[in-house]
C-alpha cells in the first residue's frame, strides 16, 4: 500500500459493503479467512478496491504482525479458533460483524 492510499479517505459505506460481502463469503464457506474473502471482493467488485486496501491495512495493523487471527489470539492468550475449525470460522465472522457495526456507528 502506498502512502497515497493510506491518506485517501475511504467511505464508511464502501467499507461496510466490502465487509458485508466478505462476511457472506465466510458464512457460505467460499472463503476461510477474512483477507482471502476481501481479495475476492476486490476482484469481483472493483469499485470497492480502495475500501478493501484500507481494510487489509487495518487488519494487518490490528493483528500486530501475525498472519492470521488465530496467531494473534494465541499471542494475547485467547484460545484460538484455527482456520479450519468451526470456532475459527465463528471468530472471524464475529470480528467482521464487529467491524461492520463500528463503521455503521461512526456514520
pLDDT at 83: 67
Q: pLDDT tens digits for 12-71?
A: 999 999 999 999 999 999 999 999 999 999 999 999 999 999 999 999 999 988 888 888
Domain ranges, ordered by start, for the chain: 6-106
**What DSSP string runs through 40-107?**
HHHHH-GGGHHHHHHHHHHHHHHTTT-SSHHHHHHHTT-----TTSHHHHHHHHHHHHHHHHHHHHH-
Per-residue pLDDT at 6 exceeds 60: no
User: Residue 81: pLDDT band by 50, 70, 90 thresholds?
Assistant: low
pLDDT at 40: 98
Amino acid at each position: 500500500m502506498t502512502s497515497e492510499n493510506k491518506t485517501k479517505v475511504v467511505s464508511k459505506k464502501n467499507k461496510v459493503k466490502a465487509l458485508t460481502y466478505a462476511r457472506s463469503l465466510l458464512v457460505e464457506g467460499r472463503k476461510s479467512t477474512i483477507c482471502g474473502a476481501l481479495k475476492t471482493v476486490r476482484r469481483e467488485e472493483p469499485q470497492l478496491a480502495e475500501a478493501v486496501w484500507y481494510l487489509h491495512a487495518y487488519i494487518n495493523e490490528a493483528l500486530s504482525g501475525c498472519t492470521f487471527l488465530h496467531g494473534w489470539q494465541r499471542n494475547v492468550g485467547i484460545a484460538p479458533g484455527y482456520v479450519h475449525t468451526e470456532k475459527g470460522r465463528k471468530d472471524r465472522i464475529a470480528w467482521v460483524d464487529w467491524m461492520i457495526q463500528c463503521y455503521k456507528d461512526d456514520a
